[in-house]
Amino acid sequence: MHKKISLIIPVYNSSKFLHKTLEAVDDQRKKSSWDLELVLVEDGSPDRSFEVIESLSQTYPYIKAIKLSRNFGHQIAVKTGLSYATGDYIAIIDDDLQDPPSLLPRFFDELDKGYEVVYGIREKRKENEIKKLAYSSFYRILNSISDTKIPLDSGDFCVMTKNVKDKMLTLNEQNPYLRGIRAWVGFKQIGLRYERSGRVEGESGYSLKKLIKIAKDGIFSFSSLPLQVISILGNIGLFISILFTIFTLVRYLANEIAVPGYTTIIIIIAFFNSILLISLGLIGEYIYRIYNEVRNRPHTIIEKTINV
């Protein structure tokens, strides 16, 4: 049965090399005889990315492009692309060819066998050792504390059926963590290992701030552990205070209490104030996310489209 393919690519600061990405996509389209719909989501890029897309759309008529009014973030850009994808099979790749289109036929073969989601498991990443350690540690920590088991070392690179895409879009979260949502919706899924390539050109658009935000979205959206930490800290504080009370009473009965006690008071106050601030910060994070959901603002503002 002939399937329509939707390929979603979020675009950010890619004006210098986007043509290389589309050449690779078109080569694979011809080789695999795809009925292709290429959904490009320009995420408020400060360079000329959308102008380049407009030019490339003359060469590749199957392009469907959406320009966002500002930078809303990678996850929102991908979710916007999902909402515009109409194919039977949907694929998500980056714009820098780290997940080359030549891998997709192997992934689509698994969908033909009956799987609903096929995600990539990254091997031999090209980042520096510190980044690789940070990524590896995060995935393992998240997997151990999450109520939903999220596959280790898997990113957004994946293919899925239209059915799964539609189910993912029913989760109208303001701070989506898509690889977590992909795992949460269930269905028959499988991971395929691949060696991730280096960037074709330029530098990653993921700053430390953006990486931290994605990490927080994953932890706070798929784990209640931060709230449980508050109880743990409270119990630790209670245990220490009981011990200190007993210690103080013993000294009092033995007439060993000195009048000053300045150091002890400062230590106790500092300790419990720290616990209070940590607890308030964790609660505040959840309250802020609840507030975001209640406001029900649109995920994106679309400035311009091509072939939509």
Which pLDDT score, from 0 to 100, does residue 206 have?
Answer: 53
Which pLDDT score, from 0 to 100, does residue 185 have?
Answer: 83
156 membership: H or E segment, kind and range: strand 154-161
Query: Taking Cα atoms as reference points, which of 207, 199, 51 lies closest to residue 125?
Result: 199
Which pLDDT score, from 0 to 100, does residue 246 have?
Answer: 72
Which pLDDT score, from 0 to 100, does residue 40 have?
Answer: 93
pLDDT averages per 10-residue partition of the chain, 308 residues: 85 87 90 92 88 90 91 86 91 86 90 89 65 62 64 76 90 78 84 70 54 62 65 70 70 63 64 72 72 72 85
295 close to 175: Cβ distance less than 8 angstroms = no
Query: Taking Cα atoms as reference points, which of 55, 19, 57 lies closest to residue 38?
Result: 57
d(CA 57, CA 61): 5
Which pLDDT score, from 0 to 100, does residue 157 have?
Answer: 85
For the stretch 166-171, contacts whose Cβ atoms lie closer than 8 Å and that sit 24 or more positions apart, written own/partner, are 168/82, 169/79, 169/82, 169/83
Which pLDDT score, from 0 to 100, does residue 257 have?
Answer: 57
d(CA 236, CA 264): 18
